[in-house]
A and B are shown apart, each in its own frame.
Chain A
Amino acid sequence: MADKTFSNQELLRVLPISPGIALGPVRLLDSQETPREGQSVDSQILPDQLASERQRLQQTLSAAEAELDELHERVVRTVGQAEAEIFTAQKLMLRDPDLLDAVDELMGRQFFSAESAWSMSIKQQSELLASLPDDTLAARAVDVRDMGARVLSHLQQTRPGATNSQQSVETRQESALIVARDLTPSQTARLDPTSILGICTVEGGPTTHAAIIARALEIPAVAGLDARVLAELRNGQQLAIDGGRGLVYLQLDEKQCTELSAAMAEQHRKKSARDTAYWCQRPGETADGQPVFIYANVGDAAGAREAAQQGAQGIGLLRTEFLFGQRTVFPDEQEQFESYLELFRAFAAEALFHKSIVARTLDAGADKPFPALEPLLGEWKEANPALGLRGARIHLLHAELLRQQLRALLRAAGEAEIDLQIMFPMITTVEETRRMKHVLEQVRAELRSEGVTQPRSVPVGIMIETPAAVWLADALAREVDFFSIGANDLFQYTLAADRTNSRVMGLFAGLEPALWRSINHVLQAARIHEIPVAVCGEIAADTRYGPLLAGLGIDELSVSPPALARVKEALHQHDLSYWQSKAQSLLQAETAAEMEPLL
């Protein structure tokens, strides 16, 4: 298909495989079939090495099998069940009795090394398949070679004295246009659509698995590149392809460059808008439809609007500090009422799901100065602000401030007709909780007697941020309607490490067994008293940890609005049972290093 005379030619006509424009630096990818340097293809072993060689092969097969499982999962998730089937077939090939008998015979009778015996058998089997008259069957030879190369690469790594110099697609993350003789299904499935701009190959056609996967991942691709052009291409050189029309631009003038870049940017913008829009409109749930509520953390009216637009199923943490931040005079009830009303309405007007808002009462502390509080509390210098006057402690010292804030919140919620929940910060004792609740009840009664509209029921919760609250979780669960774990503070109080101090935080991986077990302890207590538990804080928004928290039993994750779609997508990648079993293994881990590979 490619033009025969390509020298000095700027535009080549090739096979369109997957639509879209890609422009960027070339990354040449070696074919997996190329024998690696320093590996002779017919190496022999001594008879007394046979047992260890057989064992090495068995271990290798298990490792490769696990990788195929992972690839299968990944393709089910990113592409679909049907496209993933090919990796099930490859797994069967890997355990094929005929293949393994042949390999074992070469090792046991002729004392070939595992690598040699394996390479020879794979070559023989793939050639037999390739020679079949039926094209579809012959194409399966690609899978035999793909699976064979995977096992071989493991064998070479486990060879005594081998140096691990494997250069793979997945470890190189700079954006580039992949150019190769051929891509195996494994290689294509491994490609990261965020860093692979496009694919250009010599071999391949529109019906190969690689092509199907490229289309599903929306990676522009062409095939049928002249092998002589491939030989002339260099890493890093600029190249462009048009996967829809089947074009390769070898030389680009400035005008073409501008046009193609613009087309690519537009394509990218559309795709990310489409992805986000899709997840926005969906509720948070696992692949098997088990609900996990994805709420937003919000700090002002603009944030509330954004949360609604990005598909928040509620506001899980309304930080009311926004009203008080730089003020020197404390805002009065009316002013607070107006601000809350504006915020509630901003959310309610565009909310796609529940109009549910969890408002945390003022969480002041000496680490974030509140000039408006100085007249009440005096000059605020504490040797140890994290352990000082903050959160609920201030509320109880100056109950009139809490009273004023609660009145404003309740009135605004009644007016805006939203479901309000009240949450108290920095709780360390049961008494504090009771006293705060008592103030809320008084305020509710007051408003009732004044005939002011307020929500009919207002659930009350507390933040679990201190080890004291963790250990009192069973007692606290009897007092309140829900818990919200403030993971950032809980982390620093549990590990006695300031999260802004890089000298100590450098000692922690970010997720420590102690934090994980604390969260689990809280969940156990909450389960007995049947109250829901939310997590807000950075780990909830981290797509590695959020779904695992759900697996542990967390009912709600509260994250910043831009993370909403991402967290929903991550959660939807597996069934709840998968996240549960992963979470249980994490709980067993005793060190951060043990946790790392489980993610």
Chain B
Amino acid sequence: MPVVENTVIITNKVGLHARPATLFVQEAAHFQAQIQVRNGDKSANAKSILGVLKLGASQGTTLQLRAEGEDAAEAIQALISLVERKFDEE
């Protein structure tokens, strides 16, 4: 199984809160791969809204993403692009 890792910095104003968190989890759910997202010592399943909220990722946070599965590369690319586009909000 391919494993892909990368990091991305949260740049939108509110961070990974309510709506951005929802979009993040919805995007992750499109992929077969297991995706872990880490903020410092806190780690979450990218497909779990509760887990992602509990990361408490605010603006400026660096997220470490790790995906394992056939579509791991696409998954990481899609999630990074979403974060970099500031969740199409700003």
Residues in A with CB closer than 8 Å to B1 are none
Point out the residue from B47, B53, B54, B56 that lies within 8 Å of A97, measured CB to CB: B47
Point out the residue from B14, B17, B26, B49 that lies within 8 Å of A96, measured CB to CB: B49
User: With contacts A136-B17, A136-B18 known, is A129 near B47, CB below 8 A?
Assistant: no
Asked if residues A134 and B18 are in contact (CB atoms below 8 Å), the reply is no
Asked if residues B56 and A92 are in contact (CB atoms below 8 Å), the reply is no
Residues in A with CB closer than 8 Å to B22 are 85, 88-89, 92
* Closest chain B CB from A102 CB (angstroms): 10
* Closest chain B CB from A187 CB (angstroms): 19
| A102-129 interface bits toward B, Cβ cutoff 8 Å, 1 = contact, 0 = none | 0000000000000000000000010011
> Does A93 lie at the interface of the complex (its beta carbon under 8 Å from any beta carbon of B)?
yes
> Does B50 lie at the interface of the complex (its beta carbon under 8 Å from any beta carbon of A)?
yes
> Does A132 lie at the interface of the complex (its beta carbon under 8 Å from any beta carbon of B)?
yes
Residues in A with CB closer than 8 Å to B44 are 98
| B21-51 interface bits toward A, Cβ cutoff 8 Å, 1 = contact, 0 = none | 1100110000000000000000011011111
> Does B58 lie at the interface of the complex (its beta carbon under 8 Å from any beta carbon of A)?
yes
Q: How long is the Cα–Cα vector from A47 to B26 in the complex, in angstroms?
A: 35
User: With contacts A136-B14, A140-B18 known, is A129 near B48, CB below 8 A?
Assistant: no
User: With contacts A98-B45, A134-B56 known, is A93 near B50, CB below 8 A?
Assistant: yes
User: With contacts A85-B22, A92-B49 known, is A129 near B17, CB below 8 A?
Assistant: no
Residues in A with CB closer than 8 Å to B14 are 136
Point out the residue from B26, B50, B56 that lies within 8 Å of A125, measured CB to CB: B50
Q: How long is the Cα–Cα vector from A136 to B48 in the complex, in angstroms?
A: 18
Name, among A88, A92, A125, A132, the residue most crowded by chain B CB atoms within 10 Å (CB to CB).
A92
> Does A161 lie at the interface of the complex (its beta carbon under 8 Å from any beta carbon of B)?
no
Q: How long is the Cα–Cα vector from A88 to B23 in the complex, in angstroms?
A: 10
Residues in B with CB closer than 8 Å to A133 are 56
> Does B19 lie at the interface of the complex (its beta carbon under 8 Å from any beta carbon of A)?
yes
Chain B, Cβ-Cβ closest to A98: B48
Name, among A97, A99, A128, the residue most crowded by chain B CB atoms within 10 Å (CB to CB).
A97
Q: How long is the Cα–Cα vector from A373 to B43 in the complex, in angstroms?
A: 88
Asked if residues B25 and A92 are in contact (CB atoms below 8 Å), the reply is yes
Chain B residues touching A, range = 10 to 19
Chain A, Cβ-Cβ closest to B51: A98
State the majority secondary structure of interface residues on B.
helix
Q: How long is the Cα–Cα vector from A568 to B50 in the complex, in angstroms?
A: 40
Point out the residue from B18, B25, B51 that lies within 8 Å of A85, measured CB to CB: B18
Asked if residues B48 and A96 are in contact (CB atoms below 8 Å), the reply is yes
> Does A144 lie at the interface of the complex (its beta carbon under 8 Å from any beta carbon of B)?
yes
Chain A, Cβ-Cβ closest to B18: A89
Residues in A with CB closer than 8 Å to B26 are 92
Q: How long is the Cα–Cα vector from A93 to B21 in the complex, in angstroms?
A: 11
Asked if residues B19 and A129 are in contact (CB atoms below 8 Å), the reply is no
Chain A, Cβ-Cβ closest to B21: A89
Residues in B with CB closer than 8 Å to A480 are none
| B48-88 interface bits toward A, Cβ cutoff 8 Å, 1 = contact, 0 = none | 11110110101000000000000000000000000000000
> Does A230 lie at the interface of the complex (its beta carbon under 8 Å from any beta carbon of B)?
no
Residues in A with CB closer than 8 Å to B49 are 89, 92-93, 96
Can you spell out 15 A-B residue pairs with CB atoms less than 8 angstroms apart?
A: A85-B19, A92-B25, A92-B26, A93-B49, A98-B48, A98-B50, A98-B51, A99-B48, A129-B50, A132-B56, A133-B56, A134-B56, A136-B17, A137-B17, A137-B56
Report the 6 A-B pairs with minimum CB-CB distance, sorted nearest first: A92-B49, A98-B48, A89-B22, A96-B48, A96-B50, A97-B48
Given contacts A85-B19, A96-B49, A140-B18, 6 further A-B contacts (CB under 8 A): A89-B49, A92-B26, A97-B47, A98-B45, A98-B50, A129-B53
